[in-house]
Structure 1
Amino acid sequence: MKKLLLGVILLVATITNAQKGSILLGGNVGFASEKIGDSKSTSFEFSPKVGYQFTDNWTAGIEGAIGTIDVKGFEKTENYKIGGFVRYSTPLSETFAFYTDLGAGYQNTSLNHAKGMYINLTPALFINMKRGFGLNFSIGGINYDNLDGKNDPRQERIGFDFGKTLNIGVSKNFGL
């Protein structure tokens, strides 16, 4: 189990700080499992990103997510997101860079066919390892989302989770 968790942590990837005119590919992979008494839930999410760095500091692109939540005794829920993002990055040295992603878009879930929007702001640190490969670290961000289902009241959530989450990822920059 420890090897699986370490593998998932290493697969959690985001787009790196790169050079003007380059294509950035990345994304996140997440998995969670929880058991309380006889109740068990598992969730999985894959969130790819593709972007183009049009200046030394600014990147813009598209992002998406596909996820599932499976709770014992309930119907499996599937979630989808599609949207855009912008990133501002600032090199701190040849090895380190700080960046912030602002993403927004459309989301839906199979539970009551709910639809809505999301927006998030995530600061992070990039460590350049070698030849465009690097490690990314973030410890949370600010999130807002809403969902409107057919038979449910409108749901709105605001999250401020600095220090409550840890994402460690690898990333790759592809120059043109």
Structure 2
Amino acid sequence: MKKLLVAVVILFTTIASAQKNSILLGGNVGFSSEKIGESKLENFEFSPKVGYQFADQWTAGVEGSIVNVKTKGTDTTEKYKIGGFVRYTVPLSDVFSVFGDLGAGYQSTNVNDAKGMYVSLTPALFINMKRGFGLNFSIGGINYDNLDGKNDPRQERFGFNFGKTLNIGISKNFGL
């Protein structure tokens, strides 16, 4: 049942853009693999967003993230995030726009039942393909998160990763 639900969410979230009084559906899917000697790490992430564009340049909505990390020889780590976001968009032409997403919310992981919060700021480029379909590109951002586990000390992370990551997403706006 979980796989079916994830498949339906992926179908609907791979489609999002920017028009007043419209619904924005979008998201990212990511995968990475790292092998050092006999050690192997695989990371899969699915991050959907659903928002409402209430003004010409402003969108507000809900975002989430499911991360699955597999390390050879150890248990699988699962991380979940749910929160809200605000997006400010500046059109450069009929084809190109730039936007910034500010997101914040709750996160948890199955490692020591850790729970905490996150905040992120991500600038990005939107390319309008046709009929509200578009591609979103970002090359990093600024983020902060913390986690408190039952038997672990509090973890806090601050990241500034411009130029170290590349995210590509597909989006679609649905007019109301």
**Amino acid paired to 1:125:** L
4+ runs deviating over 3 angstroms: 13-17
- 8 Å Cα contact 1:138/1:166 also seen in 2: yes
Give the structure 2 partner of residue 123 of structure 1. Answer: 123
Alignment of 1:1-176 (within 5 A): 16-176=16-176
Identity %: 76
CA distance in 2, matches of 1:127, 1:48: 19
Unaligned runs of 5+ in 2: 1-10
Return the offset for 1:169: 2.1
Q: Say how many residue pairs are matched.
A: 165
Question: Using a 3 Å threshold, how does the CA distance of structure 1 residues 159 and 67 change in structure 2: closer, same or farther?
Answer: same
- 8 Å Cα contact 1:115/1:148 also seen in 2: yes
Task: Give me the CA root mean square deviation.
Answer: 1.5
- 8 Å Cα contact 1:96/1:125 also seen in 2: yes
For the residue of structure 2 that corresponds to 1:79, the secondary structure is strand
- 8 Å Cα contact 1:17/1:97 also seen in 2: no
- 8 Å Cα contact 1:42/1:69 also seen in 2: yes
CA distance in 1, matches of 2:60, 2:102: 10
**Amino acid paired to 2:132:** G
**Amino acid paired to 1:73:** G
CA distance in 2, matches of 1:125, 1:68: 27
- 8 Å Cα contact 2:17/2:172 also seen in 1: no
- 8 Å Cα contact 1:16/1:126 also seen in 2: no
- 8 Å Cα contact 1:105/1:118 also seen in 2: yes
Per-residue CA deviation, residues 17-67 of structure 1 (Å, 9 max, x unaligned), is 411100000111111111100001111111111000000000000001111
**Amino acid paired to 1:130:** K
Return the offset for 1:168: 1.8
For the residue of structure 2 that corresponds to 1:112, the secondary structure is helix
